[in-house]
Chains A and B, each alone.
Chain A
């Protein structure tokens, strides 16, 4: 029996073991292969093409527009040169800084409220029962509907604008963080309990720590919403900020200024997104392998 086994295996042995089998050439991957693979060079290149096409589409549309209407759709160069003019001559950087300051401060305060509340509600079912109907309901109120109220209470101040930005994202943020905390596997909490961990320890060192990457992701998504509220916030009694500059542009039909503002917000949004991703990369090294 042993003998037959041995002869069978010797059939598979190579005579000249020094030579390796030739390299296998897999079929070339099609551009639209299902799911497929993409390396970082390709991914950057393709993303670049996407951006270029958008600007190309814009530029071509401008040239196809009848001449007397072209001022309503300025070209890419007109908008960028206008932006350059705004930055160099009009102190636009101050407006940009002001808007960034409003977004980040209001969002910081929103996190200061939403994270503890979300963690509390996600960790203790009775806290959830206490707050959820209220927070859930408030989510359906459009933030813009608070504008008149904020004007009466706070006047045309910075606080009014930041309060609007705060209201625009805080309730959604609570709901998202609540979901993040509740998504922590029950077994993780129970295993901490069988180690003798206190409730305090479990809430902060297990549940919160476990949900932290997802919470940062929720924050990244909600700060994007904050950016979308920026113009609404700065329309009201606008004196400074990107939104105010855009509204002034609208009054004098300076479409290039409006489009410059949109472009600025877009770029700042992308920068914010990237900075959150970089933060996640350094704060949560354990998630790197998964991404």
Chain B
């Protein structure tokens, strides 16, 4: 059984590589509509969106705008009602390690130590024991958790638990890293540290990242491009490129604040947010 699964994976990997070479988008959302409760609630309507490689795309919008829904469709945890979602030209037919996901909820396995948690994800990919250990150690170092390798998740703070989740997702070597409000449950100071860590990771790995957030500053700080969603049903209100950053990443968040164009961008996003919060529900 495991053999069959491996063949399926390697075939798929080859097809994905081919799609990547042809310049297909890592993720393409094509005219997607997602209904819940037999059409009573429309989370997302007729949405089309291409995620570009090596870019950090932030999806932002008011609560209930369908941004998490889109991310779950990208992960393959749910399927659209209409339209389709593709990765490098291949239809998404379920969750797969090539699309790693970090949840808002803590998802470290409590019965495994920190390093075992990261190793567990690697082990599923079929690496040898030595490689598992090496990869786990490497990614723990990347998220600054080497000193806590042998602790159990319950002994860690919320921020550390999320770092385990990020290390675990990176260790499975995904093409795309999906982050679903990963710092939503953390306090402001820890969130800030985590955001700067994500910038470091972007520098080190150059991953394609899709981030769902409701934090305007976070979106501006981390993203190369912000997709602003309307509320119920979710549609794209605006597709904003962070051109004022001129492709630079800022290791320190405060350095961004004095960057020309930053204040205007923040104000613009607040305006969009106000329109959505105050606007009538359609």
Residue in B closest to A193 when the chains form the complex, CB atoms = B95
Q: Does B110 have its Cβ within 8 Å of any Cβ on chain A?
A: yes
Q: Mark A255-291, 1 if CB is under 8 A from B, else 0.
A: 0000000000000000000000000000011110110
Interface size on B, residues (CB 8 A): 34
The answer to whether A209 and B105 have CB atoms under 8 Å apart is no
Q: Is the CB of A198 within 8 A of B105?
A: no
Q: How far is the CA of A196 from the CA of B124 in the complex (A)?
A: 7
**For residue B107, which residue of chain A has the nearest CB?**
A191
Q: Check: B109 CB closer than 8 A to any chain A CB.
A: yes
Closest to A286 in B: B152
Q: Which of A210-229 contact B (CB under 8 A)?
A: 210, 212
Taking CB atoms, residues of chain B closer than 8 Å to A289 are 152, 154-155
Please report the C-alpha to C-alpha distance between residue A201 and residue B126 in the assembled complex, in whole angstroms: 13
Smallest beta-carbon distance A204→chain B, Å: 13
Q: Verify A196–B9 contact, CB threshold 8 A.
A: yes
Q: A120 at the A/B interface (Cβ < 8 Å)?
A: no
Q: How large is the interface on A (under 10, 10 to 19, 20 to 34, 35 or more residues)?
A: 20 to 34
A194-B75 contact given A286-B152, A289-B154, A290-B154, CB 8 Å threshold: yes
* Contact A195 to B168, CB < 8 A, known contacts A210-B109, A284-B111: yes
Number of A-B contacts (CB under 8 A): 71
Give the residues in chain B near A191, CB-CB below 8 Å: 101, 103, 107, 165
B175 to chain A, nearest CB (A): 13
Q: Which residues of B contact A188 (CB under 8 A)?
A: 107, 109
In contact, A195 and B110 (Cβ under 8 angstroms) = no
Of B76, B124, B168, the residue contacting A197 (CB under 8 A) is B124
Q: Kindly report which residue of chain B lies nearest to residue A200, judged by CB atoms.
A: B1
Of B5, B97, B152, B155, the residue contacting A195 (CB under 8 A) is B97
Return A198 CB to nearest CB of chain B, in Å: 6
Taken residue by residue from 175 to 204, chain A's Cβ proximity to chain B (1 for < 8 Å, 0 otherwise) reads as 000000000010110110111111011000
Whether A196 lies near B105 (C-beta < 8 A) is no
CB of A37, distance to nearest CB on chain B (Å): 21
Q: In this complex, what residue of A is CB-closest to B121?
A: A195
- Interface SS of chain A: helix
- Contact partner of B99 (CB less than 8 A), chosen from A194, A206, A287, is A194
Known: A193-B77, A195-B168, A286-B111. A187 touches B97 (CB 8 A): no
Give the residue of B94, B105, B124, B169 whose beta carbon is less than 8 angstroms from that of A187. B105
Interface: B125 (CB within 8 A): yes
Q: Is the CB of A194 within 8 A of B111?
A: no
B132 at the interface (CB under 8 A from A): no
**Inter-chain contacts of B106 with A (CB < 8 A):** 187
Tell me whether A198 and B110 are in contact (CB under 8 A).
Answer: no
Q: A198-B1, A201-B124, A289-B155 are in contact. Are A209 and B111 (CB under 8 A)?
A: yes
- Taking the closest CB of chain B, its distance from the CB of A189, in whole angstroms, is 9
How does the 8 Å CB contact mask read for B153-189 relative to A, with 1 for contact and 0 for none?
1110000000001001100100000000000000000
Q: How many whole Å from A259's CB to the nearest CB in chain B?
A: 44
- The 8 Å CB contact of B95, one of A185, A190, A284, is A190
Q: Could you tell me if B109 and A196 are in contact, using CB atoms closer than 8 angstroms?
A: no
Complex Cα distance, B105 from A213, in Å, reads: 21
Residue B66 is within 8 A (CB to CB) of chain A in the complex: no
Q: Which residue of A lies closest to B155 (CB)?
A: A289
Binding site for A on B (CB under 8 A): 1-2, 5, 9, 75-77, 94-97, 99-101, 103, 105-107, 109-112, 120-121, 124-125, 152-155, 165, 168-169, 172
- Would you list 24 pairs from A and B whose C-beta atoms are within 8 A, ordered by A residue? A185-B107, A187-B103, A187-B107, A190-B77, A190-B95, A193-B94, A194-B75, A194-B76, A194-B96, A194-B101, A194-B169, A195-B97, A195-B120, A195-B121, A195-B125, A196-B125, A198-B1, A210-B110, A210-B111, A286-B110, A289-B152, A289-B154, A289-B155, A290-B154
